[in-house]
Amino acid sequence: MIMKIKTHELIAFSCFKEKPVMRFARFISAFVLIGFIATPLLPRVAHAELSITVDKGNFQPMPIAIADFVGSDPETAAQMSEIIRNNLKRSGIFQPIDKAAFIEKNVNFDAAPNFASWKAINAQALVTGRVTKDASGKLKTEFRLWDILAGQQLTGQQFVTDAALTRRVSHIISDLVYSRITGEKGFFDTRVVFVDETGTKDKRVKRLAIMDQDGANARYLTDGSELVVTPRFSPTSQEVAYMAFGDGDPKVYIMNTETRQREVVGDFPGMTFAPRFSPDGQKVVMSLAKGSASNIYVMDLRSRATTRLTDTNAIDTSPSYSPDGSQIVFESDRGGTQQIYIMSATGGGAKRISFGEGARYSTPVWSPKGDYIAFTRQKGGQFAIGIMKPDGSGERILTEGFHNEGPTWAPNGRYLMFFRDQSGAAGSRVYMVDTTGRVENNVPTQNYSSDPAWSPLLK
Amino acid sequence: MKINWSEPGVPLSAVIHAALLLATLIAFTTAPNFEEQPESIAVDMITTDELTALTKGDKTAKTVKPDAKIKVDKLSDQPAPKPDSGEAKKDIPTPAAKPPEPQQDQKPEPPKPEAPTPPPQPVKPEVKPQPVPEEPKPEGLKQAPPPKPEPPKPQPPKFEADQLAKLLDQQKKAQPPKPAEAAKKTEPNFDPNALEKLLQSKETPQKMASTGTELSKTSTAGSATGTASKLTLSQRDQLSGLLRDQITKCWSPPAWVTGADNLRPIIRIGLREDGSLDGLPVAVDSSSDPSMKAMEESAIRAIRQCAPFNIPPQFKSYYADWKSLAVTFDMKAML
């Protein structure tokens, strides 16, 4: 009987209340399941480790020791050590230690240094090297970079070159040290084309010149018979585009800095100015003045075909490509004052990105890394060099004063050169600043200098 | 019992309740995880309000406590080998109070008159001749005021404070059952003067236990999980703050790194008890990306540069809690 009742109940249960029952059963089972699942997820106090977040630091250039290179040619070796020392110091990221403080005076290049003795003078890294000349006159340069704190070699290489390339090898070694420590590409093995200025302020002679990025090894590219301005390096070759005032209208020229051969870019009626190469080096974008208006044109260097990119009655100038070549940043007074705009590389609508109150922006240059746009800003009678993100945010002024102008990017996008005038009769000088604005160095030139254009890394 | 299936509310609710109970039981079985946090919270609460009151209480008690404390502590020690913990002491006395049965037996003999009149003293020694050493001590305690008149009794009074306690301890240690007897003996002494002292003495442990500091200590020491000597939250904050400050001074952040605001390397360090590095600092999820690598290396340089770390002495006993560190380096706030 009992069994019957039970079966009856079960049947009744299943027949009449199956759905609500199942619903509840699901609910309960889900609840229990959640309990099972959730319990292991309950917060547990991790007592195995003490977690610390360090979100502040105290930037200090890294103390680095550059031991004098050893070898059969002590003079060359010492010169190379000095070039490397100077390069690393100018980067602002390293603080070379005075040689006089070295405890281990003679470093054996083929053995690990005495880390303790370098640690004692607070060196965090050590560069050692050896320079030898073989029978054919070739220069063999070897170097090692040591991590003193970790007690291990970080990198080491050797180069066999012509004896005349001492400076370049030194720059290459500097780049290797720099990039190994910072994780960024180097920029020491580069050159800068600039306008060398001599004569009085009223009668300046402007010649195109080229030098190593450290100001050494300068030589002229033009003879000073015509006025030259705004040289711009090709990002892919050793060619420079610039504007020269010859007999007729000022024209844009391209010159090979190795061969010094030059040619006019396009044949336009009217003045062309503010040229700049595309990232692939195949095109030149520039301004063409017609009447009171200036518009932006691009010319394909192979086909010589030109395309008009803007069509305004305003002055659109200083175009600069984004590193991917898809966009162009330029300055325009179409809104009433000089401001920075971005448009597609094929032209079309432009979007203003500079909005500083009471400020005029000019000479925008897109960083080779793409993360910033450098510019000159005029505000309150002061000229500043600054950077902003391509969307116009994060504006950061790197230097400001009587007159600063014409930023140009190092190929690694972490440094800028520009030229600065002090008030008075003195001419301008070229300076280098990093994107934090913390590191600033004069680039030593024999005469006054302006309009620097930084080359890509040499090949 | 018949179930009306047209109205399944009762059985269903019963089922649901059962399930809820089951679920909660399951949840509570793993609940001990929470224990560690409550401890630290308790510490924080005390620092604010109770500390002041506690200090006050201690001051007043100190004047009276000295004598009573010693006796009580030692009495309590007998039953439980843990003399330090206030709670333990309390627990012990309570069990002692339970043996009222034996007390009753004794009480009839020297009920309340014992205290006022010395005669009960002789009675006790007679009853407890076997544990000779014990007897003199309890006598001394109870008879302390009256003993003077009789020459033989003066000896026990001297024993009162320290000697008595020591003897009691020794005896109790030797003979576990004795504690009950000792308790019995003490109780009869409740009479006049001793009562006050005993009351005071009892109060003191209570106060101690109720103090924040004592509480936290006992709770950590007594936790069933056995994770004694753990850093409290505030201590943890303090120590991590100290270490963070040290590393901050050594860290030269790589401001040039691309996308530094998204790079947050974590460096794992082992520390020895003297604060020096135990093994090499290791980057968690070490990356081959040059920017991340530069960040990691700058972080490792900072740690190497800073070592050995200065660990204040008060944290030495918590070595297990800081012997391994996970240090996150974040430049976002600096950009």
Is residue B160's pLDDT more than 80?
A: no
A436 touches chain B (CB under 8 A): yes
Tokens of A213: 């990025």
The chain-wide mean pLDDT, for chain B, equals 61
Confidence of residue A264 (pLDDT cuts 50, 70, 90): confident
Co-location of A206 and A95 in the same domain: no
Which of A45-54, A246-255, A384-393, B200-209 is least confident? B200-209
A195 and A298 inside one domain: yes
- pLDDT tens digits, one per residue of A110-145: 999 999 999 999 999 999 999 998 888 889 999 999
B residues 259-298 lying closer than 8 A (beta carbon) to A = 259, 268, 280, 289-295, 297
How many Å lie between the alpha carbon of B71 and the closest alpha carbon of chain A? 40
Which of 194-233 (B) contact A at CB < 8 A?
227, 230-231
Q: How far is B5 from chain A (nearest CA, A)?
A: 6
Cβ–Cβ gap A150/B236 under 8 Å: no
**Which chain A residues are within 8 Å of B236, Cβ to Cβ?**
50
In a domain, A52, yes or no: no
Query: Tokens 């995880």 sit at which residue?
Result: B33
Identify the band that residue A148 occupies on the pLDDT scale cut at 50, 70 and 90: very high
**Helix and strand totals (H; E) in chain A:** 5, 31
CATH of domain B233-334: 3.30.1150.10
- In chain B, the percentage of residues whose pLDDT exceeds 70 is 38
Q: How far apart are CA B279 and CA B268, in angstroms?
A: 10
Give, in order, the Cα–Cα distances in Å from B74 to each of B67, B124, B219: 11, 22, 22
Nearest to A184 among B15, B230, B256 (CB): B256
Q: Are residues A201 and A147 in the same domain?
A: no
pLDDT tens, residue by residue, A410-454: 999 999 999 999 877 788 999 999 998 889 999 999 999 999 999
Q: Which of the four pLDDT bands, split at 50, 70 and 90, describes residue A405?
A: very high
Look at residue B172 and tell me whether its pLDDT is greater than 90.
no
Q: Is residue A380 part of a domain?
A: yes
Residue A268's pLDDT band (boundaries 50, 70, 90)?
confident
Per residue in B15-43, pLDDT (tens digit) is: 999 999 998 888 776 555 555 544 444 45
Q: Dihedral of the CA atoms B244, B247, B252, B258 (nearest 10)?
A: -50
pLDDT of B85 above 60:
no
- Regarding whether A274 and A159 lie in a shared domain, the answer is no
CA distance A324 to chain B (A): 17
Q: What is the pLDDT of residues A224-262, one digit of tens each?
A: 888 888 899 998 888 999 988 877 778 888 999 989 998
Better pLDDT: B126 or A268? A268
Residue A2 within a domain: no
Residues of A in contact with B328 (CB under 8 A): 51-54
**C-alpha distance from residue A239 to each of A158, A253, A282, B287 (Å):** 29, 10, 11, 38
Residues A315 and A416 in one domain: yes
Residues B332, A55: C-beta atoms closer than 8 Å: yes
Give residues with Cβ within 8 angstroms of A2, minimum separation 6.
none
Q: Which residue has the higher pLDDT, B210 or A20?
A: A20
Distance CA B20, CA A35 (A): 10
The answer to whether the CB of A321 falls within 8 A of the CB of A342 is no
Which two structure tokens, joined as six digits, stand for A24?
């509840």
Q: Per mean pLDDT, which range of A2-16, A201-215, A216-230, B257-271 is the poorest?
A: A2-16
Of A26-35, A37-46, B207-216, B264-273, minimum mean pLDDT range: B207-216
User: How wide is the angle at C-alpha A267 spanned by C-alphas A277 and A232, nearest 5°?
Assistant: 25
Residue A387 belongs to domain spanning:
191-454
Return mean pLDDT, chain A.
87
Interface test with B, best of A22, A52, A146 (most B CBs within 10 A): A52
Mean pLDDT of B108-134: 41
pLDDT of residue B196: 61
**Which site among B10, B251, B256, B328 would you substitute to test the A interface, given the most A Cβ atoms closer than 10 Å to its Cβ?**
B256
Q: Do A61 and B26 touch (CB under 8 A)?
A: no
The lowest-confidence range among A45-54, A372-381, B189-198, B299-308 is B189-198
Query: Looking at residue A94, which CATH number applies to its domain?
Result: 3.40.50.10070
The reply to whether A13 touches chain B by the CB within 8 Å rule is yes
Residues A151 and A237 in one domain: no
CATH of the domain at A368: 2.120.10.30
The answer to whether the Cβ–Cβ distance between A181 and B294 falls below 8 Å is: yes
* Same domain as A304, residue A223: yes
Domain annotation covers residue A410: yes
Residues A243 and A392 in one domain: yes
**Measuring CA to CA, which residue among A45, A47, A82 is closest to residue A67?**
A82
Round to whole Å and give the CA distance between B269 and A146.
22
Q: Nearest by CB to A17, which of B5, B37, B321?
A: B5
Which positions in chain A touch B15 (Cβ < 8 Å)?
A: 24, 28
- DSSP lists the bridge partners of residue A251 as A244
Check whether A107 has a pLDDT greater than 90. Answer: no
For A197, the token pair is: 């200025």
CA A96/CA A88 separation, integer angstroms: 7
Q: Are B72 and A83 in contact (CB under 8 A)?
A: no
Asked whether residue B144 carries a pLDDT value surpassing 60, the answer given is no
Q: Is the pLDDT of residue B112 over 50?
A: no
| Bridge-based pairing state of the strands A94-96 and A62-66 | parallel
**What local confidence, expressed as pLDDT, does residue A21 receive?**
61
Q: pLDDT by residue (tens digit) across A299-352?
A: 999 998 889 999 999 999 999 999 999 999 999 999 999 999 999 999 989 999
- B15, B324, B327 member nearest A28 (Cβ): B15
The yes-or-no verdict on residue B132 having pLDDT over 70 is no
Please tell me whether residues A309 and A381 are part of one structural domain: yes
- Closest to A406 measured CA to CA, from A318, A280, A295, A279: A318
pLDDT for residue A40 is more than 50: no
Lowest mean pLDDT among A423-427, B35-39, B63-67, B165-169: B63-67
* Winning range, highest mean pLDDT, from A398-402, A435-439, B49-53, B235-239: A398-402
pLDDT over 80 (residue B51): no
Residues of A in contact with B331 (CB under 8 A): 55, 57
Where do the domains of chain B lie?
A: 49-222, 233-334
What distance in Å separates residue A323's CA from the closest CA in chain B? 15
pLDDT of residue A72: 84
The pTM of this model reads 0.65
CB contacts, 8 Å: B38 with chain A: none
- pLDDT at residue B8, rounded to an integer: 81
* pLDDT recorded at residue A422: 84
Lowest mean pLDDT among A302-316, A435-449, B135-149, B307-321: B135-149
Q: A101 with A207, same domain?
A: no
The whole-number pLDDT of residue B317 equals: 85
Give the span between the Cα atoms of B230 and B323, in whole angstroms: 12
Please tell me whether residues A200 and A173 are part of one structural domain. Answer: no
Which chain B residues touch A39 with a CB distance below 8 Å? 26-27, 29-30
The whole-angstrom distance between A209's CA and the closest CA on chain B is 30
Residue of A nearest to B37 (CA): A45
Element (H, E) at A8: helix A2-16
Residues in chain A within 8 Å Cβ distance of B284 = none
From A165, A182, A199, give the residue that closes a domain.
Answer: A182
CB contact at 8 A, B301 and A26: no
Contact between chains at B12 and A39 (C-beta distance less than 8 A): no
Structure tokens belonging to residue A78: 């010492």
Chain B residue at shortest CA distance from A18? B5
C-alpha–C-alpha distance, residues B200 and A13, integer Å: 69
- The rounded distance, in Å, linking the Cα atoms of B218 and A99 is 61
What residues 2-61 of chain B have any CB closer than 8 A to a CB of chain A?
A: 3, 5-6, 8, 12, 15-16, 19-20, 22-24, 26-27, 29-31, 33-34, 36-37
pLDDT at B225: 44
Amino acid at B220: T
Identify whether B308 is preceded by a cis peptide bond (ω within 30 of 0): yes
What pLDDT is attached to residue B120? 40
Question: Searching chain B, which residue's CA lies closest to the CA of residue A120?
Answer: B305
Q: Which residue has the higher pLDDT, B226 or A208?
A: A208
Average pLDDT over residues B232-237: 85
- The Cα of B85 is separated from the nearest Cα of chain A by a number of Å equal to 25
pLDDT of residue A19: 58
Looking at the structure, tell me whether residues A226 and A372 fall in a common domain: yes
Q: Helix, strand or coil for residue A303?
A: coil
pLDDT tens digits, A346-389: 998 999 999 988 999 999 999 999 999 999 999 999 999 999 99
Give the pLDDT band (50/70/90) at residue B178: very low
Q: Given this model, what pLDDT does residue A37 score?
A: 53
Higher pLDDT, A268 or B136: A268
Residue A278's pLDDT is 94
Measured between CA atoms, the residue of chain A closest to residue B307 is A149
Q: Chain A contact for B97, CB < 8 A?
A: no
pLDDT score recorded for residue A383: 95
Contact criterion met (CB < 8 Å) for A183 and B326: no
The answer to whether B93 and B75 have CB atoms below 8 angstroms apart is yes
The residue of chain B nearest to residue A12, with distances taken between CA atoms, is B5
Mean pLDDT of A205-228: 91
B chain contacts of residue A21, beta-carbon cutoff 8 Å: 8, 12
Is A52–B333 a contact, with Cβ atoms under 8 angstroms apart? no
Given B3, B254, B325, which is nearest A9 (Cβ)? B3
pLDDT at A350: 93
Averaged pLDDT, B107-135 = 41
CB contact under 8 A, A43 and B33: yes
8 Å CB contact of B292 and A183: yes
Q: Chain A to chain B, count of Cβ pairs less than 8 Å apart? A: 167
Q: What's the start-to-end Cα distance of chain A, in Å?
A: 100
Q: Under an 8 A CB cutoff, do B26 and A39 touch?
A: yes
pLDDT at A368 (0 to 100): 94
**Is B247 an 8 Å CB contact of chain A?**
yes
Query: B268-280, pLDDT tens digit by residue?
Result: 999 998 888 988 8
Total of domains in chain A = 2
